[in-house]
């Protein structure tokens, strides 16, 4: 069976924009967020409190949150890697954060200047401090299926790293196919491996990049396994600057088209969302990679 309702975790403002070379004005980011909320999305990953040297596009995180009109019923999670980031998120009045770990050694080095083991030392005080402050903490795990430097990644390695994020107090774990190489059988296999370790689909989310055109098929496989939180990016924007060959996320429009067709509730108005992504594509100066945006934007 399929879930009756899916929560879409919209990552366009964060994952979507973090890889953009030219800095998007904060006013445009704010309008993007407001239009996404107006289209019915209820979780908007707004920005990251990371080092501005590492991700210059999101150096305006304070300004962004300062200018943000928070809509009732909408959550605005932010990425936080370390205690410095947590202090910034607290100052900005955030209530939801996400820590982001790597399932592989090489990406822990490339993305966090850390190691597979040491990244958890960095996250431990972040998660503890956030929970003490009453924040919700999501955990991300990257390179869950394949790594551009290390090749295929084994299920046990992923489950072990995921368990460590739950031990830190994460309420949900998002399984990242950072470079978009997974296929549907692997998705079922990994979810089964989590299940065997006592971690069911209600505590998991999926985060697919669409590099090989598999994101939607992989999402359907995950939904059939009982996952009901799906990460996606309006217009299919995105990519990680520290992961070779990562393209955009699953496009939210492609996801909503699928879920509408299946009769699975999302609360999202597809026309408003498409208009928003078409508008954003104009701001960025190139067409959206989303098939559904191109089919409907006219």
Residues that bind ligand HMG (CB under 6 A): 15, 18, 48-55, 79, 81-82, 84-85, 88, 100, 111-113, 140, 142, 176, 178, 207, 209, 240, 242
Would you give the distance in Å from CA 29 to the centre of its chain? 17
Alpha helices in the chain (DSSP H): 26-38, 61-67, 83-91, 105-112, 118-132, 155-167, 184-196, 215-224, 252-262, 270-284, 291-296
For the bound state, the minimum distance from the C-beta of residue 280 to ligand HMG, rounded and expressed in Å, comes to: 18
Select 178 or 266, whichever has its Cβ closest to ligand HMG: 178
For the bound state, the minimum distance from the C-beta of residue 271 to ligand HMG, rounded and expressed in Å, comes to: 27
Bridging pattern class, strands 172-177 and 204-208: parallel
Residue 266 tokens read as 């999302």
Segment interacting with Mg ion (CB under 5 A) among 7-15, 36-44, 123-131, 213-221: 7-15
Q: How many CB atoms lie within 10 A of CB 294?
A: 18
Query: How big, in percent rounded to 5, are the helix, strand and coil portions of the chain?
Result: 45, 15, 40
Q: How far apart are CA 26 and CA 8, in angstroms?
A: 24
Residue 287 tokens read as 């067409």
Select 16 or 201, whichever has its Cβ closest to Mg ion: 16
Q: How many CB atoms lie within 10 A of CB 152?
A: 10
For the bound state, the minimum distance from the C-beta of residue 136 to ligand HMG, rounded and expressed in Å, comes to: 16
For the bound state, the minimum distance from the C-beta of residue 176 to Mg ion, rounded and expressed in Å, comes to: 6
Choose the contact partner of 139 out of Mg ion, ligand HMG, none; CB within 5 to 8 A by kind.
none
Choose the contact partner of 164 out of ligand HMG, Mg ion, none; CB within 5 to 8 A by kind.
none
Are the C-beta atoms of residues 2 and 223 closer than 8 Å to each other?
A: yes
Buried b (16+ CB within 10 A) or exposed e, 216-230: bbbbbbbbbbebbbb
CA nearest to 121, candidates 87, 168, 157, 172:
168
For the bound state, the minimum distance from the C-beta of residue 134 to ligand HMG, rounded and expressed in Å, comes to: 20
Choose the contact partner of 53 out of ligand HMG, Mg ion, none; CB within 5 to 8 A by kind.
ligand HMG
Are the C-beta atoms of residues 208 and 180 closer than 8 Å to each other?
A: yes
Select 29 or 209, whichever has its Cβ closest to ligand HMG: 209
Select 64 or 270, whichever has its Cβ closest to ligand HMG: 64
Question: Bridge-partner residues for 177, per DSSP?
Answer: 208
Choose the contact partner of 82 out of ligand HMG, Mg ion, none; CB within 5 to 8 A by kind.
ligand HMG
Choose the contact partner of 19 out of ligand HMG, Mg ion, none; CB within 5 to 8 A by kind.
none
**Among this protein's residues, is 240 annotated catalytic?**
yes
Segment interacting with Mg ion (CB under 5 A) among 10-18, 143-151, 157-165, 267-275: 10-18
For the bound state, the minimum distance from the C-beta of residue 141 to Mg ion, rounded and expressed in Å, comes to: 11
Q: Exactly one of 6, 7, 13, 15 binds Mg ion (CB under 5 A); which one? A: 15
Select 176 or 201, whichever has its Cβ closest to ligand HMG: 176
Q: What is the DSSP letter of 202?
A: G
Q: Of the listed 94, 144, 225, 240, which one is catalytic?
A: 240
| Residues with active-site annotation | 240
Return residues touching Mg ion (CB under 5 A).
15
């Amino acid at each position: 069976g399929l879930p009756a309702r899916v929560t879409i975790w919209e990552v366009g403002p964060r994952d979507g924009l973090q890889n953009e070379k030219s800095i998007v004005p904060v006013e445009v980011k704010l309008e993007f967020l407001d239009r996404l909320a107006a289209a019915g999305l209820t979780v908007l990953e707004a920005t990251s409190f990371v080092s501005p040297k590492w991700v210059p596009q999101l150096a305006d995180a304070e300004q962004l949150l300062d200018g943000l009109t928070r809509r009732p019923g909408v959550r605005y999670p932010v990425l936080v890697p370390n205690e410095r980031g947590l202090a910034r998120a607290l100052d900005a009045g955030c209530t939801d954060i996400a820590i982001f770990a790597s399932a592989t050694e090489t990406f822990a080095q490339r993305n966090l200047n850390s190691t597979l083991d040491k990244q958890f030392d960095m996250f431990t005080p972040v998660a503890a401090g956030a929970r003490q402050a009453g924040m919700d903490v999501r955990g991300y795990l990257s390179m869950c299926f394949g790594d551009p430097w290390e090749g295929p990644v084994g299920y046990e390695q992923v489950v072990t790293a995921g368990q460590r994020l739950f031990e830190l107090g994460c309420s949900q774990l998002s399984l990242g196919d950072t470079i978009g190489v997974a296929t549907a059988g692997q998705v079922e296999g990994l979810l089964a491996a989590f299940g065997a370790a006592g971690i069911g689909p209600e505590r998991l989310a999926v985060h697919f990049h669409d590099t090989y055109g598999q994101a939607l098929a992989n999402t359907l496989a995950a939904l059939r396994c009982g996952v009901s939180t799906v990460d996606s990016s309006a217009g299919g924007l995105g990519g990680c600057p520290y992961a070779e060959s990562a393209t955009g996320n699953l496009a939210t429009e492609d996801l909503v088209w699928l879920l509408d067709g299946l009769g699975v509730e999302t609360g999202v108005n597809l026309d408003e969302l498409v208009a928003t992504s078409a508008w954003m594509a104009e701001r960025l100066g190139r067409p959206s990679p989303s098939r559904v945006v191109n089919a409907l934007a006219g």
